[in-house]
Structure formats: structure tokens, C-alpha cells
Copies of this chain bind each other. A is one copy, B any other.
Amino acid sequence: VVHLITGGAGFIASHLVSALLLRGHDVVVFDNLALGNLQHLDAALASGHCTFMQIDCANLAEFRAAVGTSLDGRRGFAIWHLAANSDIPAGITDPHIDLRDTFLTTFNALLVMREFAIPEFHFASSSAVYGDFGDLEISEHAGPCQPISNYGAMKLASEGQICAALESRGRRASIFRFPNVVGTPATHGVILDFVNKLRVDKNRLPVLGDGTQQKAYLHVDDLIAAMLFIAEVGPAKINLYNIGPRDAGVTVRFIAECVREVVSPGAEIIYGRGNRGWVGDVPRFRYATDRLAKLGWEPSLSSEAAVRRAVRDVAASFLL
């Protein structure tokens, strides 16, 4: 069967492509390469079972034509929609970025699902849909969702549009509420940011905010395992799950110290003020993942272990 993956040249999606190929599926990847990188797909493309189409999924005519061409009469089994603007601060400056790249891509992917009678739709949503719940542990049943970034708003919009579309078309959908995800090939995020800062000046690591922001981090390998698990065994028509580690996360301070230890042990970490790194950042964040645990899946790495492993891998990637 054929799986279609939007944004497939991105950090997380390229791991998904590999995992689906390993399971013996054919894969078609759509990516505009604005944030993705074709190198992430080198091994996948060499397998002979992965087709790549450079298109913009926000352009419906282009998207539709590419799906028709790539399927070439075969039946698409699932769309994995991971295309989105992953640069949250950019989307806060200009709301049109998330409207187009985070929401309209979803809107179009659902029209494609309908047009090509593709039965399954799996969506990379985000903890950013919730907004700031303070110290409360956030379960899937928490409401109201009040996202504080346009990125989070357009992920929430996408969830709604998926639910509405599944009412009349499509057989099954997954909505994965992603946590912060770490691993390589890192394209953005706090670990890459810190590593890059120390590569510029090995003596100083300036940190936005006072370092007390605490978040849970999941390793990308665990995330992919969870997505495949939910897509396979999710019992509902729409399977909506928080995906994350079972712990309360680690602080920015912990991450800064990890990076320093690996990259430049003598550096001084210089903290800023306040517990928000930037507008749209949620200072503390606690995810309830009981629902997924009850379904039968738990991550293999804690936030601490995931960050430690990712720091080593990101740092090592610069030595290649």
C-alpha cells in the first residue's frame, strides 16, 4: 500500500518515511523544501520505494496534480500530514505564515483525501493547541484550548477541520498532539540553538529567559513508534492522543548544562530575565499521557534521557 507524507523532508517526517519503508510500504513524499532538506531522505530515496515530489501543499491545484501523478492509478492508503510552518516566532510576526503553511496545507490535504478516496488521515498536531494551563497537568480532555501562538491556533484549526471532514469522508484519523521533540537531524529547537551558540563563542552560552522554563521532551524515535502504534491500534474513528514522556520534563537550565558539558565544558551560561523565552512560548508545561499508556504504549526514554541522547547526537553531527 501507498502512504503519502506531507512535509516528508522535515526532521520528524523523514524518520516516519524510514519507518514506513522498513515496514514494507511504498511512500510518496511531498515537500516544498522551504524548511525540509532532501538530504534527510537520501537513504529512503535509495530504497526505490520512495517517490519525492517538490510541491507546495498550500497550493491545491499543484498538490492535487502531484498526488494524481505519484499514485499513478494505485490506491493511497493513508495521508500523514506533517507539513507545517515549524518556525513559531516567524508565525507570530506574520500570521499569514501559519495560515498558509500550517492550516491551508491541512485544509488541502483533506480535500485530497476526499478526492482520491484515501481512507486514513494521520495528523501531527501539537501541545501548542492548549495554551498556558499553568501548573495543571494537561490531558486530552482539558479545555478550553487557548493557544498563544498562531502556530498553535492553526494546529487547533486543523484538528477541527479534520474532525469535520471525517464526519462525511475518510474512514479513520489520528490526531497526535506532539510534545517537544528532540533528536537528529535537528533543524531548529533549543538544543541546536545552544550548540550553535557555543560554536560561535565557546566561552559564552546566552539563554533567553531565566532558565526555569520546564517542558517535557520526547526522543524522535519514541515519537515515531507512538504514531505508528496509534495509527495501527487506535480504537476510535478519530484517535486523539497526547504523546510525550511520563515525566514532568526538564528545565532550560538542565538543557543548557547538558550542552555545555558536551560541547564546551568551560563556557559560562548567561541567563536572561523572566520565565518566557519569547512571545508565544509557554513557560511551564505538564502533559498527561495516561490515555496513551492505557492504550498500551509508553516511551522508552525519559525527558532527561532523550535530551542527553539528543545533545550528544546533535553535537556529533557537526563533527561529521
Given A95-B111, A142-B141: A148 touches B167 (CB 8 Å cut-off)? yes
> Cβ of B99 and Cβ of A164 under 8 Å apart?
no
* Identity of the chain B residue whose Cβ is nearest the Cβ of A132 in the assembled complex: B167
Chain B residues positioned under 8 Å from A131 (CB to CB): 163
> Cβ of A160 and Cβ of B167 under 8 Å apart?
no
Contact mask for chain A residues 113-147; partner B; CB cutoff 8 A; 1 contact, 0 none: 00000000000000001010000000011111111
Chain B residues positioned under 8 Å from A238 (CB to CB): 146
Chain B residues positioned under 8 Å from A157 (CB to CB): 103, 153-154, 156-157, 160-161
* Identity of the chain B residue whose Cβ is nearest the Cβ of A139 in the assembled complex: B143
If over half of A's interface residues share one DSSP class (helix, strand or loop), that class is named, otherwise mixed; here it is helix
Tell me if A101 is interfacial: C-beta within 8 Å of chain B.
Answer: no
What is the count of identical protomers in the complex? Answer: 2
Instruction: Number of A interface residues at 8 Å Cβ cutoff, please give it.
Output: 38
Interface residues of A in 179-194 (CB under 8 A from B): none
**Closest 7 pairs (CB-CB, A-B):** A157-B157, A143-B143, A153-B160, A156-B160, A146-B163, A153-B164, A148-B167
Name 28 interchain pairs, CB-CB below 8 A, sorted by A: A95-B107, A95-B110, A95-B111, A95-B164, A95-B165, A99-B107, A129-B160, A140-B143, A141-B143, A143-B144, A144-B175, A144-B240, A145-B159, A145-B160, A146-B159, A146-B163, A146-B238, A147-B160, A147-B163, A148-B167, A149-B164, A150-B161, A152-B160, A153-B163, A153-B164, A154-B161, A156-B156, A156-B160
